[in-house]
Every structure is written in structure tokens, then in C-alpha cells.
Amino acid sequence: MRINTMIDEYRRLLRLAERDKKMIKDKLTKLDRRRTMTLQKRIHEFHDEVFAEVDCLKCGNCCREVGPRIIEPDIVRIAKDQNMKKNTYIAHTMVSDEDGDWVFKDCPPCPYLGENNFCHIYDVRPRACKDYPHTKDRDIHKRLKRLAIDTQYCPAAYLIVNKIIEEFKP
Ligand code: SF4
Ligand code: SF4
């Protein structure tokens, strides 16, 4: 049986994120103009604080609701892991989306999402999965509008954004 559950606490956070959607968008849009290295450094620190507490195996919502954009090195790595030639792997598992990016067929939910939110290709998973919600990215302080959207899917992103708003008071 495939059981992909999200604990009640994370559901509650996503409900709060939905309630706060407009406020988050407005405040991060204002803050997006600052783009300082202090902002970047603090977001990275908030990421570490939040992910020290959040357990992705008790969530799995990005795998269920978002789905990764896949780049060439991801395809090469996953195809090798699956003992397939790159083009065969692409033909079997991938399509290009409206922006011309590679994505998994019929995703979301991701076809590699397994029981209890385990990823069947965890060790070779796409870079986008590893980095989500991108709050450790070098340019995160220039991508706050995207982060506002991710609060609607990722409880950790919502907690990080709350810390940003509380400290920077945009
Ligand atoms: S490849 Fe793994 S980590 Fe990435 S979306 Fe699929 S199940 Fe989640
Ligand atoms: S990255 Fe966010 S949405 Fe994905 S499993 Fe972890 S907490 Fe959930």
C-alpha cells in the first residue's frame, strides 16, 4: 500500500500560509527590492534553523504537489542509476513542459514518490529536489517572489518566511 502522509502540524502550517498568502506576497515583494547580502546570509541561517526541526519524511508535499524541473546532469545520473541509456530513459519517463523544460511524465505527484514519503531515487534525485525550497540558493535574496509562492506548498518555506518578515519588517 502506498501511504504518503503529512502530519497534522504541517497541514496546519499550510493552512496558515494560505490564510497569509496576500500578506506574504506584499511583504516579500517589498523586501525583494533590497537584495542585500545580509538578507541572503540571514535566509541561509533561517533555512538551517527550520530544517533542523522540519522532517521532510513527515511531509512530502513538494513531491506530491510541485514536481521538479530536470536538467541534463540529472537525466544522465538517473538514467545511469536505472541502467538505461539516456535517450531510452527520456522516452520512457519524461516530457517537456510548456517552457521547454524536462519534467517527469504524469508529475505531480512524482512517480518516484514511495511509501511513507520515501524517494525511490533519493541518492540520484534531481538537483531541484535537493535544493527545494531553494532557501540555501546563492540568489535566494533575489527570488523572494518565488519563495512567496513556495510557502503555499512547503511548510518549511512558510516558517522561513515568517522569520524573514519578523526580522526585516518589510
Ligand atoms: S525525485 Fe524523489 S525527491 Fe524528487 S520529487 Fe520525486 S520523489 Fe520527490
Ligand atoms: S521541502 Fe518542504 S514541501 Fe518538501 S518535503 Fe520538505 S517540508 Fe515538505
Domain that includes residue 39, residue range: 34-60+134-170
Residue 12 included in any domain: no
Residue 1 included in any domain: no
Longest dimension (CA), the chain: 51
- Compute φ and ψ for 103, nearest 5 degrees: -140, 160
CA 62 to CA 145: how far, in whole Å?
18
What's the whole-model pTM score? 0.94
- Compute φ and ψ for 96, nearest 5 degrees: -100, 140
90 C-alpha to center of ligand 1: Å?
16
35 C-alpha to center of ligand 1: Å?
30
Atom of ligand 2 nearest to the CA of 117: 5
125 and 149 together in one domain: no
* pLDDT in 10s for each residue of the chain, 170 residues: 455 688 999 999 999 999 999 999 999 999 987 778 899 999 999 999 999 999 999 999 999 999 899 999 999 999 999 999 999 999 999 999 988 999 999 999 999 999 999 999 999 999 999 999 999 999 998 999 999 999 999 999 999 999 999 999 88
Residue 143 included in any domain: yes
Residue 29 included in any domain: no
The total number of structural domains in the chain stands at 2
CA 118 to CA 99: how far, in whole Å?
28
Residue 163 included in any domain: yes
DSSP string of 5-21, one letter each residue = ---HHHHHHHHHHHHTH
